[in-house]
Amino acid sequence: MDWNDLGVFLAVANTKSLTAASRQLNVSVSTVSRRITALEQSLAVTLFRHHSDGYELTEAGKNLLLPAERAQSHLKSFERAANDLENPYSGIVRIDAPELLGHQVLIPGLSDFMSEYPDLRLDIRSSVKPVKLAAQQSDIVIRLIAPDRGKYKMRAVGKVSFGFFAHQTYLDRFGLPGDEVEIRNHRFIGWSEDLGYLAMSTWLDELIGDQQLIMRLSSFTAHLAAAESAIGIALLPTFAGRRSGLIRVLEFLPDLTLDIWLLVLDQAAKSAKVQLVKDCLIKILRDEKDC
């Protein structure tokens, strides 16, 4: 078995497409197809089922997905350790962070740090969905829910508050809701049904239900854009609402405040560059006044 085929397998599993996987890996489609065939032959199993919508994992492929992710994580850890011997403050540190917190707080706060350590490379992925810790793909994970498992060292590094925000144009049209009765006359922006498990979504449903949701969206960036377009009232991280120039409303409702958790993968915890980046991220989050 060629260990490089693990990356090809994971790329096709994640993208469900040979073409998308080839772009991600910067190789030809024929190379991706050939490597998948070689991997299936070496393992004596069929990993993918090809249909009109793309490539779907077989049951055997699903069973091998997590071991493949972990094996790739161990290989990256080995590579990182080798690179650290030559220059402890060079190479890639992979970070997962909540959407908007990554975009509006962490990335701007890293400007001076990146100038001070020019040999460091940061791979920052931001999403509203909590990252799957079992895959162990990131050196550092920042999330708003404390995990109950995973090989990560964990600590709380701050809090983020959420509030309702609206554009002045919306308020000119519908008025400022003054109490819980007047809420019924307003339009709210909610979360897609597949994201109903998010703390923000369940909290919003408890307050207003789903009868007044004018729009359902799947990212904070989309919520922010909808509020800025005066479509409705959005529940946003306070720092994002204030920076956008939107107006805070419904302050008589109870607050939603979540802890910010920072996790460092056990395998990466001894890396000098990971520790360096971790300390910088903690400082950025603790210095941020709007969280």
Question: CB neighbours of 235 closer than 8 A, spacing ≥ 6?
Answer: 162, 163, 164, 165, 188, 189, 200, 203, 204, 223, 256
Task: Kindly write down the DSSP assignment for every residue of 132-169, as one continuous string.
Answer: -GGG---SEEEESS--SSSSEEEEEEEEEEEEEEE-HH
**Residue ranges per domain, the chain?**
1-75, 159-258
Q: What is the CATH number of domain 159-258?
A: 3.40.190.10
pLDDT, one tens digit per residue, over 213-240 is: 999 999 999 999 999 999 999 999 999 9
Q: What is the pLDDT of residues 24-61, one digit of tens each?
A: 888 999 999 999 998 889 889 999 998 877 889 999 98
- Of 87 and 259, the structure prediction assigns the larger pLDDT to 259
The continuous run of DSSP H or E covering 9 comes out as helix 4-15
Q: What is the pLDDT of residues 100-154, one digit of tens each?
A: 999 999 999 999 999 999 999 999 998 887 766 655 578 899 999 887 666 778 8
Q: Is the dihedral of CA 156, 104, 219, 227 positive or negative?
A: positive
User: Under CATH, which number does the domain 1-75 receive?
Assistant: 1.10.10.10
* Main-chain dihedrals φ then ψ at residue 2, nearest 5 degrees: -90, 120
**What was the pLDDT predicted at 132?**
63
Burial class (CB in 10 A: 0-12, 13-18, 19+), 106: buried
Q: Which residues contact 280 (CB under 8 A, 6 or more apart)?
A: 109, 110, 113
In whole angstroms, give the CA distance from residue 129 to residue 60.
26
The pLDDT-based confidence of 254 (bands split at 50, 70, 90) is confident
Which pLDDT does position 230 carry in this prediction?
Answer: 97
| Domain 1-75 identical in fold to domain 159-258 | no
